[in-house]
A and B are shown apart, each in its own frame.
Chain A
Amino acid sequence: MSRAEKRQTAAAMQRAALAPYTVWAVVFIVVPLFFIAYYAFTDDNFAFTTRHIVRFFTATSEVVTDAGAVREVRTYLLIFFRSLKLAVISTIICLLMGYPFAYLISRASDRAQKTMITLIMVPMWMNFLIRTYAWMTILQDTGLINSLFGALRLPTVHIIGTEGAVVIGMVYDYLPYMILPIYSVMAKMDVKLLEAARDLGCSSAGVLRRVVLPLSMPGVISGITMVLIPSISTFYISQKLGNGKFYLIGDAIESQYAANNLHFAAAIAFIFMVILLAGMALMRRLTGQRIYGGA
């Protein structure tokens, strides 16, 4: 066999090896996405329509404000921004808690690192629903926290059914997704770079700000993505810990599907996906420029 022939065979084998994944990606990713778009832009008779898309932006409903007045709002935009708000708050909390944690783990001894990472992952092996139920029993008005407060003769707190409870649930569930990518970037960071920074006049805070932080940005970006996306589309946590008072975008999609409004559910999912993709692209652009190049 000539060298060129060999190269061709190698390329053919590579294609053959990739084939199952290509098939997988088409059947389970591309086709479903296509169907979502197709449903979003068709009516019950599968004729083209933008009705569902328009409905997302224009549907209104009346809500009673705290002051007791009745106000008309754009239903789905309100839901979307509420979801976004809670997700952003949760993501920020995850970042503020997860980043220092990831840093400490990455600086620990090899054994300590393994133990801590395992401890972080163990809750993830437990079913998500069970964990959320556990939080219900902890946060309830007669739950663990309040029993404890009561025993200590402290005033009880009302947490369940507030936005705070939903945020607690999200932070608890998604914190590992923030810690792990940041940790994996930090663990790979060359210790010599930190020594060099100290050598060149940086205090510990300076090393963190000028070397560790910029070099860990890829981990931060993927951490943010991995927490923001699931927390913006969650529905179960808000139902259980928010007592169903905080209808989120995930709840909206779920209930439309449950009510067999497949086309409108698809439209919500489609718009939601477009907004997320645009947001991610924007984030990548902004940070991409920040990561490279100095003054």
Chain B
Amino acid sequence: MQKIIELKNITKSFDGEVVLDRINLDIYDHEFLTLLGPSGCGKTTMLRLIGGFETPDEGEIVFLGETINDVPPHKRNVNTVFQKYALFPHLNVYENIAFPLREQKVARDEIDRRVKEMLSLVALNGFEKRNVTRLSGGQQQRVAIARALISHPRVLLLDEPLGALDLKLRKDMQTELKRIQQTTGITFVFVTHDQEEALSMSDTIVVMDGGRIQQIGSSIDIYNEPVNAFVADFIGESNIIDGVMLEDRRVRMSGHTFDCLDTGFERNEPVDVVVRPEDVDIVPPECGMLRGVVTSVTFMGVHYEIIVDINGFKWMIQTTDFVDVDERIGISLEPDAIHIMKKSEFSGMFGDYSSFSNEFDELNEPSPDAESEERG
């Protein structure tokens, strides 16, 4: 596959605060790439660098082999779908979509043909004369996409485009965006802080934190083989336990030695052990590899989410079997339920559910606007 954009050693600071720290990233033609991270991780800044709204302090942005650091936005073959759409309130739907073509002085009937084509791509046929300020969020979103795609950019940048939509509409638009990307074959660079959205839509996910790329990989790689505690915690739920790698395929944690599939560590190397809540089997205490007491049970619809105290460490387990609070249970882990990570700067910061509560989690949910407001 052809590289379409290369970021080479990009550093960017605002008022002395480093927002992007030596970023290297290749974006390939036709892929759906997602920049995923908490607010303030630098993902929006990265998008703005590619769009041409910011210039890097150091490093190079390469577009199809050419350095474009100093090329202004209107001369880049890259368009953006802005967070709150930024539709022109003085123009109707038709004129919003036709906006880039009018600038290029495209012939009237050609404009007409292409606007119609875009309207049907985003399923807004018949909306030509509508006032954009009276459209619903989802419809505004579609107009913004049509407007950004009509001049056939090589790359479409999307800045948390679904952030303002309610859950149901969000799901619909995810499918819709994926469909549009596949029909047009245009490279999408998508920014989000929502890990589920990233997992379900992307060919490649770039997980970011603190201005650095933590991991690049497919959804499955990122979920199953997180490189450090930050990624393991940010993508899905994880129990992250201190362990020691006794030898290849043998890890000791919580006073028990487990078989696993991981190799390539030093003998007796301290490691972080990741166990996903859905990979834990609940068994009678006498059959368990580990034993503990249930401290809370939450009904989540499809499953129960239970917290179990095992030797003072609180595990989260997702199960369809009902267990009661204060019940003593055993757990069992298959070798492929265990994933071993090297120790990192994030070790010990994540993966313990002792302070866990649903309300707390919601409070921590970053607001979708936080980052853009920081950058003004």
The yes or no verdict on A and B being binding partners is yes
A residues at B contact (CB < 8 Å) = 190, 192-193, 195-203, 206, 210-211, 214-215, 291-295
Contact B104 A201 (CB under 8 A): yes
Interface size on B, residues (CB 8 A): 31
Inter-chain pairs besides A193-B89, A294-B98, 7 sampled, C-beta below 8 Å: A196-B87, A197-B99, A198-B52, A198-B53, A199-B51, A215-B89, A295-B95
Contact A211 B88 (CB under 8 A): yes
Contact B100 A193 (CB under 8 A): no
Complex Cα spacing A292 to B51, Å: 30
CB distance from B92 to the nearest CB of A (A): 5
Complex Cα spacing A13 to B99, Å: 49
Give A214's nearest chain B residue, CB to CB: B90
Contact A196 B92 (CB under 8 A): no
User: Please, which residues of chain A bring their CB within 8 A of the CB of B73?
Assistant: 195, 198-199
Chain A CB within 8 A of B188 CB: no
Contact A215 B74 (CB under 8 A): no
Complex Cα spacing A180 to B57, Å: 37
Contact B92 A294 (CB under 8 A): yes
Give A203's nearest chain B residue, CB to CB: B74
User: Please, which residues of chain B bring their CB within 8 A of the CB of A203?
Assistant: 74
Contact B151 A200 (CB under 8 A): yes
Interface window among B61-69, B78-86, B223-231, B245-253: B78-86
Known: A199-B74, A201-B151. A292 touches B90 (CB 8 A): yes
Q: For chain B residues 265-295, which have a beta carbon within 8 Å of chain A?
A: none
B residues at A contact (CB < 8 Å) = 51-53, 72-74, 79-80, 82-84, 86-92, 94-95, 98-100, 102-104, 129, 131, 147-148, 151
Complex Cα spacing A195 to B54, Å: 11
User: Please, which residues of chain A bring their CB within 8 A of the CB of B52?
Assistant: 198-199
A-B pairs with beta carbons under 8 Å apart, 13 shown? A196-B80, A196-B88, A197-B99, A198-B72, A198-B73, A200-B74, A200-B99, A200-B148, A203-B74, A206-B74, A215-B90, A292-B131, A294-B95
A-B pairs with CB below 8 Å: how many? 72
Complex Cα spacing A193 to B148, Å: 13
Give A195's nearest chain B residue, CB to CB: B53
B74, B79, B100, B129 — most chain A CB neighbours (10 Å): B74
A198, A199, A210, A294 — most chain B CB neighbours (10 Å): A199
Cβ-defined partner of A291 (8 Å) among B79, B90, B102, B129: B90
Complex Cα spacing A210 to B89, Å: 12
Contact A210 B82 (CB under 8 A): no
CB distance from A20 to the nearest CB of B (A): 35
Cβ-defined partner of B103 (8 Å) among A190, A192, A200, A294: A200
Contact B94 A294 (CB under 8 A): yes
Give A291's nearest chain B residue, CB to CB: B90
User: Please, which residues of chain A bring their CB within 8 A of the CB of B92?
Assistant: 293-294
Known: A196-B80, A295-B94. A202 touches B89 (CB 8 A): no
CB distance from B54 to the nearest CB of A (A): 11
Contact A192 B82 (CB under 8 A): yes
User: Please, which residues of chain A bring their CB within 8 A of the CB of B83?
Assistant: 192
Complex Cα spacing A214 to B96, Å: 13
Contact B90 A192 (CB under 8 A): no
User: Please, which residues of chain B bring their CB within 8 A of the CB of A200?
Assistant: 74, 79, 99-100, 103, 147-148, 151
User: Please, which residues of chain B bring their CB within 8 A of the CB of A293?
Assistant: 92, 129
10 nearest CB pairs, A to B: A294-B95, A196-B86, A192-B86, A200-B100, A201-B103, A198-B73, A214-B90, A201-B74, A201-B100, A199-B80
Complex Cα spacing A258 to B90, Å: 49
User: Please, which residues of chain B bring their CB within 8 A of the CB of A198?
Assistant: 52-53, 72-74
B51, B80, B151 — most chain A CB neighbours (10 Å): B80
Contact B103 A206 (CB under 8 A): yes
B51, B90, B92, B104 — most chain A CB neighbours (10 Å): B90
Complex Cα spacing A26 to B94, Å: 47
CB distance from B18 to the nearest CB of A (A): 23
Give A198's nearest chain B residue, CB to CB: B73
Contact A195 B82 (CB under 8 A): yes
Give A294's nearest chain B residue, CB to CB: B95
User: Please, which residues of chain A bring their CB within 8 A of the CB of B129?
Assistant: 293
Complex Cα spacing A192 to B87, Å: 9
Complex Cα spacing A214 to B95, Å: 13
Contact A199 B131 (CB under 8 A): no
CB distance from B152 to the nearest CB of A (A): 12
Give A290's nearest chain B residue, CB to CB: B90
User: Please, which residues of chain B bring their CB within 8 A of the CB of A291?
Assistant: 90
Cβ-defined partner of A196 (8 Å) among B82, B94, B102, B104: B82
Contact B103 A193 (CB under 8 A): no
Complex Cα spacing A291 to B91, Å: 8
Contact B88 A202 (CB under 8 A): no
User: Please, which residues of chain B bring their CB within 8 A of the CB of A192?
Assistant: 82-84, 86
Cβ-defined partner of A294 (8 Å) among B72, B80, B91: B91
User: Please, which residues of chain B bring their CB within 8 A of the CB of A294?
Assistant: 91-92, 94-95, 98
A190, A193, A294, A295 — most chain B CB neighbours (10 Å): A294
Give B48's nearest chain A residue, CB to CB: A195
B80, B86, B100 — most chain A CB neighbours (10 Å): B86
Give B157's nearest chain A residue, CB to CB: A199
CB distance from B66 to the nearest CB of A (A): 19
User: Please, which residues of chain B bring their CB within 8 A of the CB of A206?
Assistant: 74, 103
User: Please, which residues of chain B bring their CB within 8 A of the CB of A211?
Assistant: 88
Complex Cα spacing A190 to B99, Å: 17
Give B72's nearest chain A residue, CB to CB: A198
Complex Cα spacing A199 to B131, Å: 22
CB distance from B138 to the nearest CB of A (A): 19
Complex Cα spacing A190 to B131, Å: 18
Complex Cα spacing A214 to B102, Å: 16
Complex Cα spacing A196 to B51, Å: 10
User: Please, which residues of chain A bring their CB within 8 A of the CB of B99?
Assistant: 197, 200, 210
Contact A193 B88 (CB under 8 A): yes
